Every structure is written in structure tokens, then in C-alpha cells.
Amino acid sequence: MRVRHRLIISLSISIAMVAFVFAYFQVRSQKRALRSDLEKRAEILAESLVDNVEPLLSGQSWGQLQLLLDRFENREALDGVAVYATNGTKIAVASTLETQLDKAPAAVKAAILNDKGVSQFFNLNGVPMEVYALPIHGNGGVEGVLALYHNASFIEAQSLRLWRDTFLRLLVETILVAFICLLIIRISILEPVTKTAQWLRALRTGKGLRSATLPAEEIFQPIAREVTQLAKTLEVARTAADEEAHLREVGEAVWTAERLRLHVRNHFRNKPIFAVSNREPYIHVHKNGGIECLVPASGLVTSLEPILRACDGTWVASGAGNADRQMVDNKDRLRVPPDDPHYTLRRVWLSKEEEKGYYLGFANEGLWPLCHIAHTRPTFREADWRQYRTVNQKFATALLEEMEGTQEPAVLIHDYHFTLLPRMVKEKRPDARVAIFWHIPWPNAEAFGICPWQRELLDGLLGADLAGFHIQNHCNNFLETVDRTLECRIEWDRFAVNRRGHFTLVRPFPISVVFNNETAHSQNQATPPDAQELFGELSAEGTLMGVGVDRMDYTKGIVERFRGIERFLEKCPEYQGKFSFVQIGAPSRTDIQQYRDLVEEIESEANRINSRFQKGAWKPIILLKRHHSHQEIVRYYQAADLCLVTSLHDGMNLVAKEFVATRSDGQGVLILSRFTGACRELRDALIVNPYDTEQLAEAIRFALTMDLEEKRLRMQRMRRVVREHNVYRWAASLVSELSEIRLDRPESLKVQ
């Protein structure tokens, strides 16, 4: 039997049963009401008649009594009137049923016994009857009983009519329900199921995620979520297989997420890895009356997730979302990713005072400008330093709790927020393999000496077994700083620090971005936008586009970039009205006065240059001052004729690599600051000094006039570099180096 038939039959039977029960109670209620009404009318009539009967009965005037009863025989739908003696014998009767009323009914005896009116329903030769018996009083008490007989068959007739109407209504309702069920099944179930089947068929042929959509009906949402996740997993697996087949064919070995997972499993044999960062990979926020999970745009998430997924690891991070506390268990943990949990996120809670002192204060007003040497004076406050130490200890406590029970755990600590953490962990767990990766530049020894707590910071970092930086020059600066500041032995031949018997290896690990066939597929699904299309969306005019993507930070050289564009338009006026530069600037750290001042300076400079050159709807600089999603930014990367990266000092700068990774068309020119780590790998970019306005203007002119074939060859070589040295290779190198470290057993790891 088909599902639809079973559903219709089940619904019909259920409706019939419910209707029957309701009809039963309705009939019973109506019958009770009709009986009550009949009894009331009989009682009123009997009481009006008994006053006339009493004197005739007392005077034994039987003839007059009979005449009186005969006058009432056909009134009020009476079927009969009788008077009985106290012994139940008939005294007088007026009825066509005279021969059937010789025997007094039970109601007469009950009326004599109780000395009050009594009603009784009974069958008289198959006819439903109602009798009302009322005592007749005389001088000596009860002298007889007056009985009124009514035909009650109309009650049964009305009950049968109600049953008939209920049956007919039930029949109509059942037919309508069956018809509606067929429509509902067809529209709400069969069509979505058919659509799902088509989607799965498309998925099986390799087109599922892009060629069709799953049904949006609420009833299918749980299934849709699981099927979508399954589809994504299959899509990733298919992409990985295609990528692997392609790599085998061309004899290359590019790192992928799947290869990284296998690499981690082979090196750590399924032992968990623990990662620590200030920013969490998943943020829960209240939105639209519910809780939504957001994934911040971060290369760190992209690189670390395959590692933690591979070994069911734990990520310790600061809880920043306003709904984060509602999603964790009693130990501040939750499994992530939400749709396919593979590792644990441990959230650490910071007070506003701690966040202000540790993050905004010491980390971003102290260490950030100290390490970037971008002409912004670092600010060091004792209160900020205390909060920084407190937060590092809080993270250390959480991390040690998570590592409890794990032998020789591996720990990956990230960035300048946690310089003290390696030592804190190593003191408690000398069996742990601890690595810290420094995501920003390391300055020279003289510059770092500005920090009042340089010895404490360096000693904290040297608690790690492995310290990673973007480029070799940063490694050299770090070793020279350690050599000048602390009592230790530098082993320059293998780039290691020996401090009281504990060795810290110092290695360069140039971070990168994702570059694989999955990215290429997603980008090639729709025709990349051209500059005119994007200018139209911005209500601007122009034919040539430059793009810059940065946080609004004083290290990014945005003002210097604008001045280079201004000089270019002065030297090449023929590009006025044609070339526009789109600056995507995400506001950053606006709680710090220096950053608020910088935003004002950037806006002021853009307005000044625009007011100088603007003609109609064309203006040289279009400033988009808001956060953009990665998908939005990619559209500008793909449409731009050139990308300007003019950092005054940067560890790597992934914008340069992202721009290269998106240009599958082989076009576009990258103008790159010599003060970025990326310039050491992307040598086919136009390398500039952002402080040299003339050089920057000339680079823009050269990029716009460059031969198409030269553009293609330059971009092709840079894309090969980014492809071979992607973020998965970076993570694999870091993991490999950490896994091969020989754990030492120093007598003491504590500061003396």
C-alpha cells in the first residue's frame, strides 16, 4: 500500500472516530434537553389540572371527573390523562389508550410513596412514552394520583435525524480531507522529495551543490541540513580526488586540506593537538530573534581547522560573541564546526578591564607599534602589563585543564597576545611540545629594547620548543634580541637558543592562503565582473580600476598610497576620468584614539584628492569604509587592473597572495611594498617603496600600460608560487617541525 493511501485511510478513520464521539455526546445532550423540556411542560400542565381534579375526587364525582379529563384529552399533545387511586387502581381515564392504561406505571407508585411529582420514560407496546404522576391531596392526605401521558417518539426521531446529518457531514468531510491530503502530499511532500531526488542525482554526477537547490519547506530543514553537509563532504572529497588525480598526472605535490589531515595523523598518531589564539574560529551572536554562528574571515581558521579535525584537537580562544556563553557546556566547551563537529572549542572569558588592558592596551598600543616600526610611538602602562600577565595566566590555566590526561601533548600558540604563555605551560607540563608562531614582524634589537618588560617577554617566548616567524630576517632579529638581552647561548649554526638547558628552535614559516581547484571551481561558476559593472554598482564612472584591501591600520600605508595615486594623475592627466582606485577599508580597533585619528586622516586625504580631480560622476578615489565579506572582495580582485599593497611594515600581507590566487584569468598587476614578507616570494610583482611617491606613481603608470603577455607571464609565475606554497603547506611545515622536536629534561625551566 502506498504511503499516500495509508495516510488518507488513517486520516479518514481518525476523523470518523472523532466525529462519532462528538456526535454521540451531541445526541445525548440533545436527547437530555428534549426530555427535560417535555418533563417541564408535563409538570406545568399537571399542576394546573390537579386543582380542578381534587374537589371532584374528594366528592367522588366520577362523572364530572370523567368529563373534566375528556376536555383535556387533546390538549398540549397529550396522549392520555388518568386518575389512579392510592392502591393503583384506575378511577378515570381519557385516552385512546384507555385499554392500555389499566395498570398504573411505576411513576404513580413513586409519586404516592414520595408525595411529589415523578416523571418516567417507558415503552408502551413499543411506543416511547413519558408519564408525569402528581399526587392529589384531600383532607386526609393523598387521595389519588393524576397521570399525564405524552408520546416521546419525537425525541428518538430528532436523535436519528441528528445521527443522519452527522453521517452525511462526515462523508463530505472525509471526501474533502482525502482531496486536501492528496494536494498537500503532492505539493508539500512529493514535489520536495522529487526535487531532493533530482538534487541527489545531480550531486552523484558532480553538479549537486551548484545546479539545484534543496527544498525550503520547514519539515525538510533537518534533512536538508544533514544532506547539505553530506553533499559538501562528497563535493570536497570529489574535489580532493580530482586534485590528487591532476597532481599525479602532472607529477606535482601540492598541499591540500586532505593531505594536511593525513600528514597530521601520521606525525602525531591521532594524539590531540591544542591550539591557542585570541580570536575564536566560531562566534555566536544574537540575530533576528535567534542565535547565529559566524565564521570570521581568517587565514588562521583555514590553516588550523584541518589540523584539529584530523586529531580531534582543542582550540582555546577568547569568547567574543554576545551569545557565546549560551552555547557552551558547564566546562565552557562546545564541539565545532556546528554542522559537522570534529574538534573542541574551549572559550575563555575576559572582563572588560582585562580586554582593555591586555588586548587594546599592552598588545595593540604596546607590542603592535613596537614590532611594526611604523612611526607610531608604542605606549606601555604598568596596569596594561598586569592585565596582560593575568590574561596569559588565565589562558594557561584553561589550556592545562584541556591537556590533562594527554601524554606529550602538542601545543600551537599564535601571535603576540601570548608571549608569556609558552613558559607558563612548559613549567607545568615539561612533556609538552610547545610552538608559538609570531604573525607580525620582529623588530631589531634596539627597537625592541624600548619595551620595559623585554626580558619577561623573551623568557616567556623561550619557554617554547619552536618559535616561528614569517621570514628569515625576523628570525635573525629575534635571535639578536635574545642574544643582547638574556643570558643564554645562541647556536647560530642551527638557529636555536639554549637557555638553562632548554632549546628553542627558531624557524621561518611563510604563511599563505588557500589555493586549490575548489577555489577555482567556485570562482569560475559565474562570469567574473568587469570594472564597469562594479563602477555602476558604486554609482561611479571609470574604465580602469585599482583596488586596495586593508584594515584601517597605520602600518598599511593607505595615506601614502593615496598620495602616489595623486602624483600619478598629475603626471598622467590622460587617465583622469578613466582610472579610479577603490579602497576597501575595514575599521579596526576604534577604541584606540590613534586608529580613530587615522580613519579621519584617510577620509580627509581621499576627500582632498577627489575635490581636486573629480569630474562629474568620476572620482579618483572611492573609499568603502565598512567590513566586506570575502565573496564581495573577490569580485573587486577579479575586476581590478591592478592591486596596491603599500604596507609600511608587514609580517607577510596575505592580501597580495589573495589577489594572485583569484586571478585565474592571468591578468591584473600586483604593486607590492618592499616592506612586506610577501615581496620575498612574489618577485614578479612591481616592488616599490611606499614612502617614494614618485616611484609609486610610476609603478601605477607601468602597470596600466604593461603588455598583456607580460602581465600573463608575471601572474602565471606568481600563481605558481602561491599554489605550491599555500596555507596547508605552511601548517604542514609547522606541524612537521614540532613533531620532530626531541623533548629535553632541564633541571629547571623557571626564571631565576
pLDDT of residue 745: 58
**What's the mean pLDDT in 600-607?**
96
Cell 535567534 sits on residue: 290
Residue type, 658: E
Please check whether residue 278 is in contact with residue 317, taking contact to mean a CB–CB distance below 8 angstroms.
yes
Helix axes 221-250, 257-268, angle to 10 degrees: 90
Please check whether residue 735 is in contact with residue 264, taking contact to mean a CB–CB distance below 8 angstroms.
yes
pLDDT of residue 218: 55
Class of domain 261-512: alpha beta
How far apart are alpha carbons 678 and 667 in whole angstroms?
A: 19
- Whether residue 130 is predicted with pLDDT greater than 70 in this model: the reply is yes
Residues above pLDDT 90, as percent of the chain: 52
pLDDT of residue 19: 73
* Measured CA distances, 638 to 77, 623, 629, 669, 702 (Å): 98, 18, 15, 11, 19
pLDDT of residue 520: 43
pLDDT of residue 298: 65
Cell 389519588 sits on residue: 144
Cell 626580558 sits on residue: 455
Give bridge partners of residue 671 from the DSSP assignment: 644, 686
Strand-by-strand arrangement of the 78-85 sheet: 90-95, 78-85, 141-151, 127-138, 118-124
* 113 vs 387 pLDDT, higher one: 387
Please check whether residue 142 is in contact with residue 112, taking contact to mean a CB–CB distance below 8 angstroms.
yes
pLDDT of residue 404: 94
pLDDT of residue 206: 56
pLDDT of residue 327: 94
Tell me if the domain spanning 528-724 has CATH number 1.10.357.20. no
pLDDT band for position 310 (cuts 50, 70, 90):
confident
* 721 vs 122 pLDDT, higher one: 721
pLDDT band for position 237 (cuts 50, 70, 90):
low
Provide the 10 A C-beta neighbour count for residue 308: 24
All cell numbers assigned to 513: 592562503
Least confident of 223-227, 330-334, 678-682: 223-227
Of 722, 729, 666, the C-alpha closest to 253 is: 729
**What are the domain boundaries of the chain?**
3-157, 221-250, 261-512, 528-724
pLDDT of residue 214: 59
* Measured CA distances, 354 to 285, 387, 391, 684 (Å): 21, 5, 7, 45
Q: In which region does residue 289 sit, left (phi positive, over 0), alpha (psi from -120 to 50) or beta (all else)?
A: left
- Whether residue 571 is predicted with pLDDT greater than 50 in this model: the reply is yes
pLDDT of residue 236: 63
Provide the 10 A C-beta neighbour count for residue 67: 13
Mind listing the pLDDT tens digit for each residue in 185-222?
Answer: 777 667 777 777 776 666 666 555 555 565 565 555 56
Residues above pLDDT 70, as percent of the chain: 87
Mind listing the pLDDT tens digit for each residue in 616-639?
Answer: 999 999 999 988 888 899 999 999
Average pLDDT in the chain? 86
Helix (H, G, I), strand (E, B) or coil at 726: coil
- Whether residue 477 is predicted with pLDDT greater than 50 in this model: the reply is yes
Please check whether residue 660 is in contact with residue 632, taking contact to mean a CB–CB distance below 8 angstroms.
no
pLDDT of residue 127: 82
What residue ranges in 473-605 does DSSP mark as E strands? 489-491, 496-499, 502-508, 544-551, 579-586
Mind listing the pLDDT tens digit for each residue in 342-381?
Answer: 999 999 999 999 999 999 999 999 999 999 987 789 999 9
**What's the mean pLDDT in 514-541?**
73
- Whether residue 244 is predicted with pLDDT greater than 80 in this model: the reply is no
**What's the mean pLDDT in 319-342?**
92
- Whether residue 728 is predicted with pLDDT greater than 80 in this model: the reply is yes
The string over 405-414, giving b where at least 16 C-beta atoms fall within 10 Å of a residue's C-beta and e elsewhere, is ebeebbbbbb
- Whether residue 412 is predicted with pLDDT greater than 80 in this model: the reply is yes
Which class for 492: exposed (0-12), middle (13-18), buried (19 or more C-beta within 10 A)?
Answer: exposed
Of 55, 452, 512, 60, the C-alpha closest to 255 is: 512
- Whether residue 246 is predicted with pLDDT greater than 80 in this model: the reply is no
For 608, phi then psi, to 5°, come to: -65, -45
- Whether residue 582 is predicted with pLDDT greater than 90 in this model: the reply is yes
Domains 3-157 and 528-724 share a fold: no
pLDDT of residue 211: 52
pLDDT band for position 732 (cuts 50, 70, 90):
very high
pLDDT band for position 383 (cuts 50, 70, 90):
very high
Least confident of 292-301, 597-606, 689-698, 700-709: 292-301
pLDDT of residue 205: 60
Is the model's pTM score more than 0.85?
no
**What's the mean pLDDT in 726-746?**
86
**What's the mean pLDDT in 380-385?**
97
Please check whether residue 435 is in contact with residue 464, taking contact to mean a CB–CB distance below 8 angstroms.
yes
Which residues contact residue 711 at a Cβ distance below 8 angstroms, ignoring those fewer than 6 apart? Answer: 666, 667, 668, 669
Of 717, 525, 541, 479, the C-alpha closest to 638 is: 525
Indicate the fold that domain 3-157 takes in CATH.
Beta-Lactamase (3.30.450)
How far apart are alpha carbons 508 and 473 in whole angstroms?
A: 9
pLDDT band for position 522 (cuts 50, 70, 90):
very low
Least confident of 169-173, 375-379, 746-750: 746-750
